Amino acid sequence: MAIRVLLADDHKMIRDGLRSLIGQEEGMEVIAQAEDGKSTVRIARKLCPDVVVMDIGMPDLNGIEATRQIAGAKKNIKVIGLSMHSDRRYVSQMLKAGASGYLHKDDAFEELAEAIRTVMKGKTYLSPDIAKTLVDEYRRTAEPKDDGTAFSALTDREREVLQQIAEGKTTKETAAHLGVSVKTIETHRLKIMDKLDIHSIAELTKYAVREGLTELES
């Protein structure tokens, strides 16, 4: 059975282009088009398409609100946002509203078919440039915080030492491996135990495995 698609965009030229593109894809068909948010919601509720390709900036009812109403109807309709904006705010609002994907209009003709197939598999699709924007912004704004894991509780070198301990290396072997003195390794071990409030090699090993710093050999 073909994937049934509803195209929602207030620009006829874009709708015609996307319709032509989808028409060339095997197993897909455009069952309806809409030029504003309200009619998109009405048509989606009536025809229950598999996927709605949703322009965000539409008259009467914007694409984000239209997506929220369609997703709220609980009819398992997938929505792919389509916009000239790649700003995190637009992407996050669209995803919060219930969208399963987000495409920049500049990439739509190259990526739409793949996006449709991806969301139909129950996955989320983001244009590579959109995903990069989100990751870059996250890296700029994220603040380090103590989440209680080894990656926040211990320093880089302490994690290295802990891994060596958990893997059964002696203090001398660890010192040689890391190119430092035995005394330095002993100091690191004491700091690790103090920070984690763990005072046996067996418990340190369990902790290292649990935190993903190493794996026990089977």
Taking only the tens of pLDDT, the chain with its 218 residues reads 899 999 999 999 999 999 999 999 999 999 999 999 999 999 999 999 999 999 998 888 999 999 999 998 878 999 999 988 777 778 888 999 999 999 988 888 889 999 999 999 999 999 888 888 777 777 776 555 555 666 678 888 998 899 999 989 999 999 999 999 999 999 999 999 999 999 999 999 998 888 888 876 54
Q: What single-letter amino acid sits at 59?
A: P
Q: Do 114 and 178 belong to one domain?
A: no
Angle at 40 between CA 105 and CA 72, to 5 degrees: 100
Q: Is residue 217 part of a domain?
A: no
Domain region containing 45: 3-141
Q: Is residue 37 part of a domain?
A: yes
Q: Is residue 49 part of a domain?
A: yes
Q: Do 17 and 43 belong to one domain?
A: yes
What is the pLDDT at residue 130? Answer: 81
Both tokens of 190, joined, read 């004491």
Q: In what order do the strands lie in the sheet with 78-83?
A: 28-34, 3-8, 51-55, 78-83, 101-104, 125-126
Domain count, the chain: 2
DSSP per-residue codes, 165-180? HHTT--HHHHHHHHTS
Q: Is residue 215 part of a domain?
A: no
Q: Do 154 and 126 belong to one domain?
A: no
> Residue 181, Cα to own-chain centre: how many angstroms?
43
What is the pLDDT at residue 209? Answer: 85
Yes or no: say if 49 and 6 are a contact pair by the CB < 8 Å rule.
Answer: yes
Q: Do 198 and 136 belong to one domain?
A: no
Q: Do 21 and 115 belong to one domain?
A: yes
Q: Do 95 and 42 belong to one domain?
A: yes
Q: Do 13 and 93 belong to one domain?
A: yes
CATH code at 112? 3.40.50.2300
Tell me how far apart the alpha carbons of residues 25 and 27 are, in angstroms, rounded to a whole number.
6
Q: Do 185 and 126 belong to one domain?
A: no
Of the residues 84, 108, 141, which one is the last residue of a structural domain? 141
0.75 exceeded by the pTM? no
